[in-house]
Amino acid sequence: MSLHFLIVGSGFSGAVLANQLTQALDCKVDIWDERPHAGGNCHTERDEQTGIMVHQYGPHIFNTDKKEIWDYVNSFGEFKHYVHRVKALSKGAIYSLPVSLFTINQFFGKTFTPAEAKEFLQGLADKTIIDPQNFEEQALHFIGRELYDAFFYGYTKKQWGCEPTELPASIIKRIPVRFNYDDNYHTNEYTGIPVDGYSAIMQKMIDHPSISLTLNKKFTAGMDTSQYTHVFYTGPLDAYFEFEYGRLGYRTVTFEKFYAEGDHQGLSQMNYCDEEVPYTRVVEHKHFTPWEKHQKTVYFKEFSKETGPADEPYYPKRLQHDKGILKQYRAKAESLSGVSFLGRLATYRYMDMHHVIGEALSFAENFVKALKTGQPIPVFSNTEEL
Ligand code: UDP
* CB within 8 Å of 106: residues ≥ 6 apart: 93, 95, 96
Question: Does the annotation count 178 as an active-site position?
Answer: yes
Final residue of a domain: which of 171, 190, 219? Answer: 171
Residue 330 lies in a domain: yes
The answer to whether residue 18 is domain-embedded is yes
pLDDT of residue 165: 96
Last residue of a domain, one of 121, 145, 171: 171
Helical (H) or strand (E) element with 141: helix 135-147
Over residues 182-212, the pLDDT tens digits come to 999 999 999 999 999 999 999 999 999 999 9
46 is catalytic: no
Based on the fold, state whether residues 224 and 322 are members of the same structural domain.
Answer: yes
Residues 239 and 344 in one domain: yes
116 within a domain of the structure (yes/no): yes
CATH number, domain with residue 228: 3.40.50.720
Does residue 262 register a pLDDT over 80? yes
Q: Are residues 242 and 364 in the same domain?
A: yes
Domain membership of residue 127 (yes or no) is yes
Is 14 found in the same domain as 137?
Answer: no
The CA 362 to ligand 1 mean position distance, Å, reads: 28
Closest CA to 273 of 176, 159, 150: 150
3-34, pLDDT tens digit by residue? 999 999 999 999 999 999 999 999 999 999 99
Distance in Å, CA 71 to ligand 1 centroid: 28
Distance CA 269, CA 276 (A): 19
Note if 174 is an active site residue: yes
Which atom belonging to ligand 1 lies closest to the Cα atom of 59?
A: 23
- DSSP for 37-100? SSSGGG-EEE-TTT--EEETTS---EEES-HHHHHHHHTTS-EEE---BEEEEETTEEEEES--
Tell me how many domains the chain contains.
2
In a domain, 338, yes or no: yes
Q: Whose CA is nearest to atom 22 of ligand 1?
A: 59
Q: What pLDDT band is residue 221 in, cutting at 50, 70 and 90? A: confident
Question: What distance in angstroms lies between residue 190's CA and the mean position of ligand 1's atoms?
Answer: 20
Is residue 163 domain-shared with residue 214, that is, in the same domain? no
Q: φ and ψ at 301, to 5 degrees?
A: -90, 135
pTM of structure: 0.96
Last residue of a domain, one of 148, 171, 194: 171
Instruction: Starting at the earlier edge strand, list the strands of the sheet with 3-8.
Output: 211-214, 27-32, 3-8, 230-233, 339-341
> Are residues 348 and 236 part of one domain?
yes
Contact 7, 14 (CB under 8 A): yes
Check: CB of residue 381 under 8 Å from CB of residue 355. Answer: no
Residue of 46, 163, 174, 334 marked active site: 174
Taking the CA atoms of residue 127, residue 132, residue 133 and residue 138 in that order, the dihedral angle to the nearest 10 degrees is: 100
**pLDDT by residue (tens digit) across 295-354?**
999 999 999 999 999 999 999 999 999 999 999 999 999 999 999 999 999 999 999 999
Residues 220 and 357 occupy one common structural domain: yes
Whether pLDDT at 125 is above 80: yes
From CA 233, how far away is CA 230, in angstroms rounded? 10
Is residue 145 among the annotated active site residues?
no
- Proportion of the chain above pLDDT 70, given as a percent: 99
Q: Which of 138, 153, 174 to mutate to test the pocket of ligand 1 (most atoms within 8 A of CB)?
A: 174
156 in the same domain as 7: no
Residues 231 and 126 in one domain: no
Of the candidates 153, 178, 183, 250, the residue annotated as catalytic is 178
Residue 384 pLDDT greater than 80, yes or no? no
Nearest atom (ligand 1) to Cα of 185: 19
Residue 225 lies in a domain: yes
Residues 6+ apart with CB under 8 A from 355: 349
Q: How far is the CA of 123 from the centre of ligand 1 (A)?
A: 25
- What's the CA-to-centroid distance between 161 and ligand 1, angstroms? 13
CA 37 / ligand 1 centre spacing (Å): 27
**Atom 14 of ligand 1 has which residue's CA nearest to it?**
172
Beta bridge partners of residue 81, listed in sequence order: 192
Residue-level pLDDT at 386: 52
What residue owns the CA closest to ligand 1's atom 10?
156
Average pLDDT, the chain: 96
Q: How many CB atoms lie within 10 A of CB 331?
A: 10
Domain co-membership, 222 together with 337: yes
| 153 CA closest ligand 1 atom index | 7
Q: Which of 142, 153, 172 to mutate to test the pocket of ligand 1 (most atoms within 8 A of CB)?
A: 172
* In a shared domain, residues 17 and 152: no
Average pLDDT over residues 163-170: 94
From CA 35, how far away is CA 214, in angstroms rounded?
10
| Nearest atom of ligand 1 to the alpha carbon of 350 | 24
Whether 66 maps to a domain, the answer reads no
Closest CA to 12 of 346, 366, 241: 346
Ligand 1 centroid – CA 217 distance (Å): 33
**Could you list the residue range(s) of the whole structural domain that residue 323 is in?**
3-38+206-246+316-373
Position 348 in a domain = yes
Looking at ligand 1, which atom is closest to the CA of residue 175? 20
Examine the domain organization and report whether 121 and 232 are in the same domain.
Answer: no
Check pLDDT > 70 for residue 1: no
- At 100-123, the pLDDT tens digits run 999 999 999 999 999 999 999 999
Cα separation of 338 and 378, whole Å?
10
42-74 tens-digit pLDDT: 999 999 999 999 999 999 999 999 999 999 999
Cis peptide preceding 98, ω within 30 of 0: yes
Task: Tell me whether residue 281 is one of the annotated catalytic residues.
Answer: yes
Q: For residue 376, which of 349, 337, 318, 344 has the smallest C-alpha distance? A: 337
Give me the pLDDT at residue 349, please.
Answer: 96
